[in-house]
Amino acid sequence: MKNELNRREFINAASVLGAGLTMGMPLIACNTAGATEKPAILGGPKAFSGKWTGWPVIGQVEQDELIKVLNSGQWCRLGAKTARRFEEEFKKLFGAKGALGVSSGTAALYTMLGALNIGPGDEVIIPPYTFIATYNVVVLHYALPVFVDTDLQTFQIDPSKIEAQITERTRVIMPVHIGGSPADLDSILSIAGKHKIPVIEDACQAHLAEWKGRCVGSFGLAGGFSFQGSKNLNAGEGGAIISNDETFIHDCYAFHHQGQGANSASLEPGKGTRGTNLRLTEFQAGILLAQMTRLTEQSNTRSANADYLTKMLNKIPGIYPAKLYKGVTKSAYHLYMFRYDSEKFGGLSIAKFIEAMNREGIPCGKGYGKMNKDKYVTDLARNKHYLAIYGEKYMNQWLERNQCPENDKLTDQAIWFGQTMLLGSKTDMEQIAEAITKISKNPGEIMKS
């Protein structure tokens, strides 16, 4: 959880640094002249001279949608229209047959598992390189989260290691499109198909990310998105589920609406025997409709800037931007993720590198920790309910099964930039590269500083 705060903190830091929008600024030719200057941490000028884009972007359209909901007096989705309007727009934009707005990304994942009637004795496969919510939603159903190691090159779940973790208890495979870059969907879907296990995509960071030209989220049975304040589509809090299986969307509706069916006025029963209230408010839906008017353009800007940055960073020894799988036709770049090899920087520690980058005016952070080794997670093996459901022997074996050596390596080397940093100009990207180049030329001096 601490690491998630890091993510949100530096996305906020980037936003606070610049309230002005730099989108639409003319793109200029590559200029890395400043790379010969002294690093800022040694008293030189900062590499970054601009302003990061503030987040969220707010305009008249947000005010109009909110006022409409306010004056309607219908603030709950039941009997009202805004949430339904949002769901129509969302499913169209994301290319799915059905969509359901819910109260958060966590609620989206929890609802999908609830609609599948996941419960005690079941296992759900997840990656360790993710926000803790991916784990929590499994535990909230008293199912067992089983970790599959990370692919060091892409930061995504390693599909070649999934089969070894499938048991007769496995009920769901839940890959995460981490950073907004699609996981290897072809490989994951093929393994899931072979074992007849549904895939639920945690697409909470992956708005408009594409696999082979189609938006992620509905390749498996269904997918969940988050609209929490740091996300590329932001309503402060909120979430959505998409699926091409309309019956499943109906089941999700029932679970998130106290077990009742879509026709709430008649309390038509939904499928299943459990439910809760995880409904989206009309206010959230209004904000989402407004924010969605900019989503495509913002996504294209992030993509173009990230591609440009990757080209520059690939030339710096010791900096390894996360690779994209061949099937990825677009990343949402909620995070720009790369690995840092301190040996190639004369032994300069990752902490000192990050400090030097921050001094250049470039916010960055270390990202997720080793979730599978976190006390919050390992204590599950001593939880009285889990001991009652699975037994001590199985829970001890679970601790053994959860080893993820590649993820251990990744979490020691990973660094992130936040999505708002990709909403600026090409010059901003050049200045990021320039800062790293300056640092790479002066590791000895920086170490002594």
Ligand X SMILES: Cc1ncc(COP(=O)(O)O)c(C=O)c1O
Q: Which residues form the interface with ligand X (CB under 6 A)?
A: 104-106, 130-131, 133-134, 176, 202, 204-205, 226, 228, 239
Residue 239 or 275: which CB sits closer to ligand X?
239
Return the DSSP state at 141: T
Rounded to an integer, what distance in angstroms lies between the CA atom of residue 375 and that of residue 165?
22
Rounded to an integer, what distance in angstroms lies between the CA atom of residue 153 and that of residue 447?
28
Least distance from C-beta 438 to ligand X, angstroms? 32
Question: Helix, strand, coil: what percent of the chain each, to 5?
Answer: 45, 15, 40
Least distance from C-beta 116 to ligand X, angstroms? 17
Quick one: which of 176, 181, 291 has its CA closest to 236?
291
Angle between helices 426-441 and 350-359 (to 10 degrees): 130
Rounded to an integer, what distance in angstroms lies between the CA atom of residue 221 and that of residue 245?
7
Quick one: which of 287, 373, 369 has its CA closest to 64?
287
Order across the sheet with 98-102: list the strands. Answer: 98-102, 239-243, 222-226, 200-202
Residue 390 or 416: which CB sits closer to ligand X?
416
Least distance from C-beta 134 to ligand X, angstroms? 5
Least distance from C-beta 115 to ligand X, angstroms? 17
Least distance from C-beta 394 to ligand X, angstroms? 26
Token couple for 164:
């070894």
**Residue-wise DSSP of 396-418:** HHHHHHT--HHHHHHHHHEEEEE
Residue 134 or 442: which CB sits closer to ligand X?
134
Least distance from C-beta 141 to ligand X, angstroms? 15
Torsion angles phi and psi, residue 98, rounded to 5: -135, 150
Return the DSSP state at 180: G
Least distance from C-beta 229 to ligand X, angstroms? 9
Residue 324 or 439: which CB sits closer to ligand X?
324
Quick one: which of 279, 224, 245 has its CA closest to 98?
245
Q: Give the CB-nearest residue to ligand X.
A: 105
Least distance from C-beta 133 to ligand X, angstroms? 4
Residue 176 or 362: which CB sits closer to ligand X?
176
Least distance from C-beta 130 to ligand X, angstroms? 5
Residue 353 or 368: which CB sits closer to ligand X?
368
Residue 106 or 156: which CB sits closer to ligand X?
106
Quick one: which of 215, 207, 209, 214 has its CA closest to 232?
207
Cis bond upstream, residue 56 (ω within 30): yes
Residue 175 or 270: which CB sits closer to ligand X?
175
Residue 133 or 319: which CB sits closer to ligand X?
133
